[in-house]
Amino acid sequence: MTRGPLAAAETAIKKDRLHADPAIWIARASDDAILSQARRLRDEGPRGRPLWGMTVAIKDNIDVAGMPTTAACPDYAYTPAVSAPAVQRLIDAGALVIGKTNLDQFATGLVGVRSPYGVPRNVFDADRVPGGSSSGSAVAVAAGIVDIALGTDTAGSGRIPAAFGNIVGLKPTIGAVPATGMVPACRSIDTISVFARTVDIALSVQRVIAGYDARDPYSRHPPNAYLRRSALPARPRIAVADIDQLCEPEVSRLYRRAAADFDHETVDLAPFLAIARLLYDGPWVAERTASLREVVENRPEIMHPVTRAIVEGGWTRKTVDAFDAFHALARARRLASDLFARYDALLVPTAPFCPTLAELATDPIGPNSRLGTFTNFVNLCDLAAIAVPAGFGADGLPVGVTVLGPAWSEGRLAAIADRIHRSTTPDLPAAEPADGPAADETALFCIGAHMSGLPLNTQIVSLGGRFLRTARTTAAYRLHALGNRPGMALGDGGIAVAGEVWALPTAAIGTLLGMVPPPLGFGTVALEDGPCLGFLAEAHALIGTQDISAYGGWRAWLVERDRPPEGRR
């Protein structure tokens, strides 16, 4: 951000006044309080704080010290003395809190209408739902009032309203962001989420709010530096689904357009859609009941009627059925693991349609259930997700798609999600470059099947590798074909060999080396821009093998190898 805190605060106040939608907020700081915060930040200066002067809204099931937390239930309200860790980390990073935002009560819903504080207005069509449960946070960003916002996500609450507001919704890996100070919905699969205008801003916010918290029993230590941004690989492998029978035509059209930018294959989504139905049909309804047990047992009358009906349904769930659901979920997680061993990402529509307020008035449950078609299974299967705009339909409504990956894949998904967003939104600020290797990472030059889109790339990715750039060696090497892999060594009449540079956790280099059969190994390779660890072969082992140096790289040789005999050169 180039503007200072005071200009940001004044913009937020002005845009909030012009937008004139009081249903966005449950509690908003006064203009004087906002400006006072901004002046203090201005006088302090940036001090290296990454979010200095950025305005932020906080979903009102997340604690902000001194402001009531209601979870959209006035009689539930309490005023915390300390902020949730995620909020405090934003403040410590220089962000300016504007207020607490509206939501589907107790974060139960995907529509954004189940609140006694009103319904935030969909910024593109006032007759449509804003999406929920993080309705106010998403609308505050979509309307340009704040730069960023925190939501929560259990079944899609951080993604559905992003789609309806034409903004980015980042759903972190479960346990990556501490949920301490958050009113739980389904505690085992809840996460605080991020709304922003670009993928890079959303990722920068997650870098601030993420981190282990011993007070949160579901908090997890990441296996690697998963929030370092990757570049877009040369050949990302994308899985897609046949969704035409599930979505409105314009959603299907724009989904197909987003997928067309990548090499993609259709996979069967049915096992995941079956798991999705368990979120409101299985034991996780009882988990919502457990989260609100005191209210449900002693004060059910304080709840919104629809919320009460859903949460009270948890009493009827049977333990024996829960174990059937847990076993089904284990199978689905195994399927997800197998899928991401073959593909870099799964692309799905964010929502199959955008219902009208009138539809919800007639049927408060059905449209909400349909909205979760492509979101409900994600947290259950322990996936990371980034929802991005995919363009506008003929009806003028925005359509979103979501890029999914395994836990701890946010930095890799960012490149794919950002590419989709930029294909439909040309006036975005310049993309952030890939983060270079950090102190605990080693750059590795790959020349064969470990490159993106090729069979052994999953070995790199599974160890926490991320793509940095394409590169070439100096003109000093010879390249040979060793069956299904290349061998490269220094040689007379050398050529420049094309390949890719990946960053791996240094601790994983030995593990990868153990997967590489002789005569291949690692050594220092001279690239055009300097030395780098890379794949090399023992020179004596190349004697008598096919020299493919003339092709300049393994990809070019694969094209020639797979060409019909009559077309080969």
3-state secondary structure of 520: strand
The residue among 418, 455, 444, 361 whose CA lies nearest residue 127 is 361
Find out whether 105 and 84 touch, Cβ atoms under 8 Å. Answer: no
Burial class of residue 232 (count of CB atoms within 10 Å of its CB; 0-12, 13-18, 19+): middle
The residue among 276, 383, 398, 367 whose CA lies nearest residue 329 is 276
* CA 443 to chain CA mean position, Å: 25
Report the sign of the C-alpha dihedral through residues 127, 132, 133, 135, in that order: negative
Please count the residues of the chain.
569
Q: Which of 115, 135, 157, 230 is catalytic?
A: 157
In sequence order, the 6+-apart residues with CB closer than 8 A to the CB of 357 are 113, 119, 127, 128, 129
| 122-145: b (≥16 Cβ within 10 Å) or e | bbbbeebbbbbbbbbbbbbbbbbb
What is the C-alpha to C-alpha distance for residues 228 and 250, in angstroms, rounded to an integer? 34
Alpha helices, DSSP H, located in 210-356: 249-259, 270-278, 283-291, 293-298, 305-312, 319-340
59 has catalytic annotation = yes
Residue type, 161: P
Q: Which of 133, 134, 135, 230 is catalytic?
A: 133
What is the C-alpha to C-alpha distance for residues 59 and 69, in angstroms, rounded to an integer? 9
318 has catalytic annotation = no
Active-site annotation, residues: 59, 133, 157
